[in-house]
Structures are given as structure tokens and as C-alpha cells.
Structure 1
Amino acid sequence: MAESFGHKAVRAQQILLSVLMETLEGSELCFPQLLNTSCRKPVRPHFETMLIYILLSSISLLTAVLNLLVIISISHFKQLHTPTNLLLLSLAVSDFFVGLLLFFQIMLTDGCWFFGDLMCVAYQYLAYIVTSASVGTMVIICVDRYVAICHPLHYSTKVTQKRVQVCICLCWICSLIFQSLILKDIIEQPGRYNSCIGECVFFINYIAGLADLIFSFIVPITIIVVLYMRIFVVAVSQARTMRSHIAAVTLQKSVKVTAKKSEMKAARTLGVVVVVFLICLCPYYCVALTGQDNFLNASSSAFVICLFFFNSCLNPMIYAFFYPWFRKSIKLIVTLKILQPDSCEANIL
């Protein structure tokens, strides 16, 4: 009787295992040896998976390379050691790390995290810090340009290298403290929101998400819009003043063309900065506040996170590529002329 019962138990286990394997057929486990606790890889068309890989890899590589060029340029050439360029350097450093961290997002494309809970927390924590520092540096750059254009006579006394260095340090320290509070739960208990082994989820409760929305999006974008609107008004006013003064000694038609170009340039600058910032950050914050308990995993938000990180790829284009000195420095870097003696003294400006 005991042997019969044992045989039936074994048979029942075999049937259960067979049913389980049929259920798992067509899907792969992140950790096949952990049959009951492992996460499953999402079933995606091969084309979609390859497209995500190519897109994220391209953005990651381009972000790292472009920002590394900015870092080398400003750090190496002495002529570029100015307060404004220090801000560009801080922005490039934060965006460079965003590019590197994006490689971890590529790892999550398959829906599996193979580096453990501690590395998951470290990845999330660093990603939030560097993106927050990037946004904060953008705001400081706006303030710098506001003072330079609207109060040019006081710029040299108000904006010094020491003050800029202090502002940059405060920006990074505030980002560190703020994101520590936002991600307090997962820092204290790594993996507490993971439902299975091989998962790395981004959890933000309603209060933390609201605070992040206010201080990482609403406040920065408000400051940027207000400052750039003021810059635009001042630029237009200066163009009109110049037109009225020169009208007496030159052709009115020529002055109108010059003033119109100045107005369009100011409008383009305002439009590029604000629109790019909104396009890249709005989708993430809209998704982040869709509910009380919000889980953002790579499977469901690859596009949103990709777009969020893409802002760091565009920053060097917006803030550096329009500078002639950057194009000159790229030539010297690519041709390895920066390895020559006294290359740091080269005339870049």
C-alpha cells in the first residue's frame, strides 16, 4: 500500500511538472535552475528586440562619445577655462554617465537583471542622481546666460569661477540628497519590490513621484522658460535699439535684415531648449504619475526611458556644437594633436 501511494505521488509530481513545462513552453526563464522563483523573459518579435538593441546602443554610444569630447576639450585647452564652460563641463560629465548607465538599460531589454539586487539599486540611484544633476546644471546655465545678456556690465563681478564651482558642487550635492530621499525605500531594502528573481523595477510612490515631478520637472522648466523669455525680450529690444541708432547712418533695409536675423536666432534658441526638454522629459513624468503604485520596468517603458536619456545626448549638441571652439577642438582631438607638447596653449577661440 505504501509503495502504491509512493508511486502515485511520484506520478502526480511528474504530471505536475509536465503541465508546468507545457505552460512555460514558448517562454524562457531568466534563471532556468530556479524554476519556481525565476522571472520569465518577455515574448517579443525578433525584429522589435533588435530594433530596441540598436536604438539604445546608438544613443548610449553617441551620448558617451559626444560628452567625452566636450569633457576633453574644456579640460585640456586653457583658453576654455571660463565660468560658462565650467557649467558645460558639469553638464557633459553628468550626461556622460547617463550614456554609460544606458548600457544597463540595454541589459534589461530582455526583461532579466543578472547583477543582483544591490547592483540594481546602485544603477537606479546613480541614474537618478546624474539625470537630476544634468537638469540642475541646465538651469544654472540658463541663469548664467540670463546674467550675461540682461546684465552684461555686472557679469564679470557676479559670475566668477569660484562662485560657479560652488554652484556646481551644490547642484550635485542637492541631487544626491534629494534622490536619496526619493529612493529611500529601495536603498534601505534592495529588491523589496521585485516579484521574482531577475527583476529590477523602478518603484516610486505617489508622494515621492509628486516631489520628483515638482523639483525635477516643473520647477526647472518654469525657470528655463521664464529666463529664456526674458532673454528673448531683451535680445529683441537690443536689436530694435540697434536698428533705430544705425538707421540714421545706414540703409534701413540692411538694418531690418540684421535685426530680423537677431530676433530669429533668439527665438530658435528658446524653442530648441524648451521643446527638446519637454519632449524628452514629459513622457517619463506622465507615465510616472499614472497611479498610486507605479512600477516602471524595462519591458513596459523602454521607449519612455530611452527618450528620457536621449535628452543627455542632445545636450552637447545644443550647448556645445553651436560653439566654433568646439568644432576646432574636435579636429585637434581626432587628429591626436592634443598629444603634442604645449597643445593645451593652442588658440581655440
Structure 2
Amino acid sequence: MEVVIALASVLGNVMVVWAVKINRSLRDTTFYFVVSLALADIAVGALVIPLAITISTGMRTHFYSCLMVACVMLVLTQSSILALLAIAIDRYLRVKIPLSYKRVVTPKRAGTAVLVCWLVALIVGLTPMFGWNNLQKFNHTNSSEGPNPDVICKFENVISMQYMVYFNFFGCVLPPLVLMLVIYFEIFYMIHKQLNKRINKSASQTDPSRYYGKELKLAKSLALVLFLFAISWLPLHILNCITLFSPSPKTNLIIYVAILLSHGNSAVNPVIYAFRIRKFRIAFVKIWERYVCCKKVNQLASKATRRRGSLEKRMRHHNDL
């Protein structure tokens, strides 16, 4: 199952990045963060899951080698959370200040935000490498004093549960999730408020209604991404809390299901984009037909699409003015 999840994660999220590359209408600031999220999910499928499969065999390795493997997963998880938070803030600004949004949220600022998200994720995820780990506990239990002893490489053998619960979960995972919940609630409230205003006005006000209607549909899709992320990762964090506060043996089945859920989240986002966001769906079909089925793209249709895209861009510019 891990192999299937890894393949689906890599292929699906490569399609997401590719779709943004070939479709100009997807190259707005929101999709900077979507691409960042996709890159983290690609790394989970290509790097983390193979490493997780390897260490699940009970192999022995140096303490810090095993710790680095665990920290990579923590970095990627934190980058996903921060990317989702950035997406939520971006959608909030798009609805809150639609007229000045493009002036406030520029591509340069969005790129800077992506870099900041990854920098914070690195700091949070690599914290155990700087001392908050189980090395002293391991040395005490095994009556050894080695600076880098051999261990059976398992996550709980090297990562401190105090770090996972108090710092990672209570400090860096739960607050962003709660903040995103509040942000999306406010987004839906503002959109419905604006739509109700437009319904009560004359028919000449249909363009704003169309704008907020599109924002509502996209906000629902991105909120679904957040919801699936939460239900995929919360079981594993709850297990960590139980391990810390009630360290009783747990069945392997529960642990494996929680791990599969957390890894499986990396494969579901492209499916949501394909079914919920029309621009992604069109781009996915184009990639499939051109590069998998080897169909030739009709040049006239391509030119017509470009002309239509240019016309839509001019109309959006006119509406913004």
C-alpha cells in the first residue's frame, strides 16, 4: 500500500506542477502555494515513503542517521501546513480586498512567502537534530555513552515524544489548523454576505456576483484540501499524545493505519484539483492526451484557446479597473 501511495503521490503532484507550468491562467499567486504544497508531497512519495519502508524492516543504523530520516518527514509535514495556511490567507485577502489585491499580493511577495514557509519548516523540523531527541534516554537505557550509537531505526526510538506533542503538535500544527478554520469560516461568511447584497441589487451588478461565485467554489475546494489534511494527520498526532501521557503498548494495526493515512494525504490533493477545479481538469486532460496518448494538438484550436485566454485576461483587467 505504501508503494501505491508513493507512486500516486509522485505522479499526481508532478501533474499539478506541470499543469501550472502549461496553463497561464493557473499562474496566479494562490498557485505559488499550491505548487509548494505539491513539491512537498512529491518529496513524501519519492523520498520519505521509501525511507519509511526501509526502516520498517528493523534495520540498525547510527542514531543521527535515523534521526535525520525522521526530521525530513517533520520538515515536509510542517511545510505542507504552512503552505495551506498561506493559501487560506491568500484567499482571505482576495475576498477582503478584491480591488487592491493584485497591488498588495504581488508575485514577488508570494515567492518570498513560499521561501519563508520553507525556512520555518526547516527550523521546526530540524530542531531534534540540535539536541531535543532521545539520545540521552537511549544511552541511559542501554548503559552506553556513545555520541552516535547504533539503534534500531524507528521514529519513536530517536524522536522525543515531548517534542512531538508539546512543540510540534500543540505549538506548530494545532494553532495553524485552528487559524485556518477561522479564516475559511470568515471567507465563507464574507462571500455569502456579498452574494446576498448582489441578489438584492439590479441585474447590472452581475459581474461582482460572478466573481464571488468563483471565489466561493475555489474556497470550498481548498477548504476540502485542508479538511482531508486534518483527518489524515490528526490520528497520528493523537497517538503521539496517548504515547506520551499513557505509555501503554498499542497494536501495530492502529499505528500502521495512522501512518498510511498521513502518507496517503500526499496523493489525494491532485484528485481534488481534478474533480473540483476546472482549470486543473482541463490541463490534466491536455497533458494526458498529448504526452500519454501521443495525440497531436490541433493548432487552430490552440490558437483559439490563446485568443480566448487573451480576451478573458483583458476582460478581467477591465473589471479590476
TM-score of Structure 1 vs Structure 2, range by shorter chain: 0.7 to 0.9
Given that 2:79 and 2:121 are in contact with CA atoms closer than 8 Å, whether structure 1 keeps it comes out as yes
Matched residues in 2 for 1:104 and 1:113: separation?
Answer: 11
Given that 1:217 and 1:281 are in contact with CA atoms closer than 8 Å, whether structure 2 keeps it comes out as no
Q: How much does 1:123 deviate? A: 1.8
Residue of structure 2 in register with 1:163 after alignment: 109
Paired residue type of 2:188: F
In the TM superposition, what whole-angstrom CA distance separates every residue of 1:196-228 from its partner, at most 9, and x where no partner exists?
A: 854323322325521111233211111111110
Q: How much does 1:299 deviate? A: 4.7
Paired residue type of 1:236: H
1:106 paired to 2:62: no
Deviates more, 1:269-278 or 1:81-90: 269-278
TM-score for the superposition, normalised by structure 1: 0.68
Matched residues in 2 for 1:190 and 1:62: separation?
Answer: 39
Residue of structure 1 in register with 2:242 after alignment: 290
Q: How does 1:170-249 map to 2 (within 5 A)?
A: 170-185=116-131, 192=138, 198-202=152-156, 203-246=159-202
Given that 2:79 and 2:117 are in contact with CA atoms closer than 8 Å, whether structure 1 keeps it comes out as yes
1:80 paired to 2:32: no
In structure 2, the gaps of 5 or more residues are: 143-149, 310-321
In structure 1, the gaps of 5 or more residues are: 1-54, 251-257
Residues 1:116 and 1:168: Cα distance change in structure 2 (over 3 Å): same
Residue of structure 2 in register with 1:121 after alignment: 67
% identical aligned pairs: 21
Given that 1:236 and 1:262 are in contact with CA atoms closer than 8 Å, whether structure 2 keeps it comes out as no
TM-score for the superposition, normalised by structure 2: 0.73
Given that 1:232 and 1:266 are in contact with CA atoms closer than 8 Å, whether structure 2 keeps it comes out as no
Bigger helix share: 2
Residue of structure 2 in register with 1:276 after alignment: 228
Residues 1:167 and 1:121: Cα distance change in structure 2 (over 3 Å): same
Cα RMSD of the aligned pairs, angstroms, is 4.0
Matched residues in 1 for 2:19 and 2:36: separation?
Answer: 13
Residues 1:114 and 1:298: Cα distance change in structure 2 (over 3 Å): farther
Residues 1:161 and 1:102: Cα distance change in structure 2 (over 3 Å): same
Matched residues in 2 for 1:298 and 1:108: separation?
Answer: 18
Aligned length: 283
Residues 1:72 and 1:270: Cα distance change in structure 2 (over 3 Å): closer
Given that 2:45 and 2:266 are in contact with CA atoms closer than 8 Å, whether structure 1 keeps it comes out as yes
Residue of structure 2 in register with 1:314 after alignment: 268
Rg bigger for which structure?
A: 1
